[in-house]
Structure 1
Amino acid sequence: MRRHWENCITHFDKDVSGFIDDYFSQTSRRCVLVAGAGFDPRAKSIAHRLAATMGDRVHGLFIREDRGDPAVNLQQLADENEARLKCIIADCKVSLVQIFSADDGAPIGGHGARSVLEKYDWPAEVTDIVLDMSALSTGVGFPLARMLLEYAEAKAGLSLHVMVVSNPELDDRIVGEPSMQVQAVRGYSGPSGGYESLPVARIWLPQLGRGRVETLRRIRTTLDNVYKVCPVVPFPARNPRRADELLAEYQAPLLNEWQVDARDLIYVSERNPLDCYRTISILKSRYDETVKDVFFPQIILSPFGSKVIAVGAMMAAIEHNLSVQYVETLRYEFEPAALNESEAPPDMAVHVWLHGPIYGSYDLESEAVAG
């Protein structure tokens, strides 16, 4: 058990920059930044902040997701971001990850991410790994997080940080065309057994995101024995009406297809991933206790929309071995000039210190109390 996750060290917005300036300015720190190198304008933000503080003590491993048929403007934006990242962090490697198989079109991004990490030549004396989820898709970012956590936990003295530059308004402008196949994200299939003696009762937690109605409908049709659907909506949020707008967009499936009661809605902070993590963890504990010896309980997550909320869901999925069902995106559409830059809401930054020696005494004390 990662008991420290309930009170993980976190920083927000300006405090993220303050943490980087304070912690990573120590000359003993040597960091590997793992991040996306796609078209997303947030791809360069964390790299720039780390490089400004650490100089040549930061190394880069950048993932370029290849979906085979990108829009011309997005290809250009991705090329520009990649070139800029190479300038920001001189000692870096850019790895291409095929998202779909050339043979049958099956999503294989998670397999590609594993291959990238297995082939990476880690620099000597690395003290910290930073996973920047800002420009990584769920199908690549989630497997990377799990593999990096396993790597960090197996190495004494190694810290793992997750950072996200979030902008919900920008996310709303990135339109994705979903593929037809529903699958579990690699490494997030959930329990492999235990169904033999008791009937299965599932709770599905779809994270509502703009423009994802048909995608979530597709996922729901693949799930059986669903006892209840509990949609995850952002509240509090920077836009106080965001939850209301999403519920209005999803009104038909919520009421007519999934029979969602107002009491089934799960409200989590759009700013703090630990809120989502704690909420799902509490739900898991209570559900397990409620149906004990009667049903085999299973919680299924489908994270879309806010990347900050998705990070909290990812932490819960890792800690409690939950299934994450997902539909990969075939291609994206995005027009950066669609919104006047002077009117654009600022980016929000989040840092979560997932693992490291700083938690050593905390976990030992927690285990002693639990024992």
Structure 2
Amino acid sequence: MAHDHWENCIAHFDTQVDVFAEEYFGRTEVICLLVAAAGFDPRSIGIATLLAGHLGDRLSGLFVREERGTPDAGLVTAADQNADRLRELVRGCEIASVDIFGNDNAPVAGVRIASIIRDFNIPDETTDIVLDMTALSIGVAFPAARLLLDYCEDRGIAFHIMVASNPELDDAITSEPGDRPMAVRGFAGIDLSDAALEISRIWVPQLAKGRSAALTEIRRSIRDTYKICPVVPFPARDPRRADALITEYGTQLIDEWQVDPRDIVYVSESNPLDCYRTLSTLTKRYADAVDQIFVPSIILSPVGSRVMAAGALMAAIEHNLTVQYIETVRYDFDPAKPAVATAPDMRVHLLLSGPAYRELGAASATPVQPDAPEPVCDVPS
């Protein structure tokens, strides 16, 4: 299904999210389902708290608890506390456990979340579905988003994505990657097995603090890349965040990936539409550049900020791009770290489908910001 209206996607940021939630979800005719995480992340209850305050008993919930091996006892306690709070906020909600790995340690998150969503009884009177990507892993969030978007578009109801972003908190959560990179369920891209021309791949990894090992494993799983175009956050709340990431990944960028500085892609840390538009432009320009010479293949690896990942999700759906990812075996997190305690969350709301676009028309939907600049990534002429 075409998503031309995403070029002028309805979006809200920070205090605008509060105003939108009050004016939109406060209406008595809105019946909403919230799909979100029930994990240890302290941001897990933020969006639920906001929506429950305006919707009350018009809000139902499907909350996902991601299960990985033997987690730290402190994280289990934090997840239990968040789950209890979610039950208080959304009466009658369902909390579903999703095993991230199977008995043979193979990643199965996509299959499990797809089964849970298909079996979940969404009330017929539902007018809106909100996916809170804040604390969901990519292997769960992306398949869930695709299934829920299709469900909403088939029935003409509204589909929203919301994120409570905190880059400083993201940096404080460390993770241990698994050893089996693979395409996220539903995001394997176009089947190129019978391609008549040589395939020319561009890998677009999102750089994030402490994710070097994960990206190294993902890179090994991708064959014969023509270019690697790393994505870094700029503008960002910390103006030096992009510089710090380039320094952290210096050896990989120069010696292992042989990245030309002109191929680094800069996208906003706070606006997913910037990432979406930049990746969409990159995809279109590259396809035009290699037309009838190579078969273009863009491979995304969003491993950091969920705001930037939301933009990558939109681009992947719109252009049927491959999303190559590696699941996390375990997390380590100390909520007492100073940066975690002091940095405020940045909130984002996206309306991806629904009656609003039919009423407004794609041409009349007001852009949140001017079109993103042309991507820096160089392509052959």
Deviations 1:83-104 (A, max 9, x none): 01000111211111110002x1
Q: Matched residues in 2 for 1:51 and 1:246: separation? A: 37
Q: Which residue of 1 aligns with 2:310?
A: 311
- Cα deviation, residue 302, structure 1: 0.4
3-state secondary structure, aligned to 1:239: coil
Aligned positions of 1:234-273 closer than 5 A: 234-273=233-272
Alpha carbons 1:164, 1:349 under 8 Å: kept: yes
**Structure 2 letter corresponding to 1:348:** M
Deviations 1:318-365 (A, max 9, x none): 110000001100010001012276x61100000000111111256677
Q: Cα 1:195–1:202, aligned 2, differ >3 Å: closer, same or farther?
A: farther
3-state secondary structure, aligned to 1:33: strand
Alpha carbons 1:71, 1:333 under 8 Å: kept: yes
Q: Matched residues in 1 for 2:14 and 2:171: separation? A: 20
Q: Which residue of 1 aligns with 2:31?
A: 30
Q: Matched residues in 2 for 1:68 and 1:225: separation? A: 34
**Structure 1 letter corresponding to 2:151:** Y
Q: Matched residues in 2 for 1:250 and 1:151: separation? A: 40
3-state secondary structure, aligned to 1:337: coil
Q: Which residue of 2 aligns with 1:108?
A: 108
Q: Which residue of 1 aligns with 2:368?
A: none
Q: Which residue of 2 aligns with 1:356?
A: 354
Instruction: Give TM-score, length-normalised by structure 1.
Output: 0.96
Aligned positions of 1:174-213 closer than 5 A: 174-193=173-192, 195-213=194-212
**Structure 1 letter corresponding to 2:136:** L
Q: Matched residues in 2 for 1:138 and 1:204: separation? A: 17
Alpha carbons 2:195, 2:295 under 8 Å: kept: no
Q: Cα 1:108–1:58, aligned 2, differ >3 Å: closer, same or farther?
A: same
Alpha carbons 2:4, 2:362 under 8 Å: kept: no
Alpha carbons 1:3, 1:363 under 8 Å: kept: no
**Structure 1 letter corresponding to 2:77:** Q
Aligned positions of 1:136-215 closer than 5 A: 136-156=136-156, 158-193=157-192, 195-215=194-214
**Structure 2 letter corresponding to 1:240:** P
- Cα deviation, residue 262, structure 1: 1.1
Mean Cα displacement is larger for which, 210-219 or 320-329? 210-219
Q: Which residue of 1 aligns with 2:376?
A: none
Listed as ranges, the gaps of 5+ residues in structure 1 are 367-371
**Structure 2 letter corresponding to 1:349:** R
Count matched residues. 363
Aligned positions of 1:279-290 closer than 5 A: 279-290=278-289
Alpha carbons 1:194, 1:296 under 8 Å: kept: no
Q: Matched residues in 2 for 1:18 and 1:219: separation? A: 40
Q: Matched residues in 1 for 2:326 and 2:186: separation? A: 15
3-state secondary structure, aligned to 1:55: helix
Matched, 1:57 2:58: yes
- Cα deviation, residue 305, structure 1: 1.4
Q: Cα 1:276–1:364, aligned 2, differ >3 Å: closer, same or farther?
A: closer
Q: Matched residues in 2 for 1:90 and 1:198: separation? A: 56
Q: Which residue of 2 aligns with 1:369?
A: none
- Cα deviation, residue 123, structure 1: 1.5
**Structure 1 letter corresponding to 2:333:** F
Q: Matched residues in 2 for 1:160 and 1:23: separation? A: 13
Alpha carbons 1:56, 1:91 under 8 Å: kept: no
Alpha carbons 1:46, 1:132 under 8 Å: kept: yes
**Structure 2 letter corresponding to 1:72:** A
Q: Matched residues in 1 for 2:158 and 2:359: separation? A: 15
Deviations 1:287-334 (A, max 9, x none): 001100000000000001111001000110011000000110001000
Deviations 1:51-78 (A, max 9, x none): 1111100001100111121110000000
Alpha carbons 1:2, 1:363 under 8 Å: kept: no
Alpha carbons 1:189, 1:322 under 8 Å: kept: yes
Q: Cα 1:24–1:247, aligned 2, differ >3 Å: closer, same or farther?
A: same
- Cα deviation, residue 196, structure 1: 2.6
**Structure 2 letter corresponding to 1:85:** L
Listed as ranges, the gaps of 5+ residues in structure 2 are 365-381
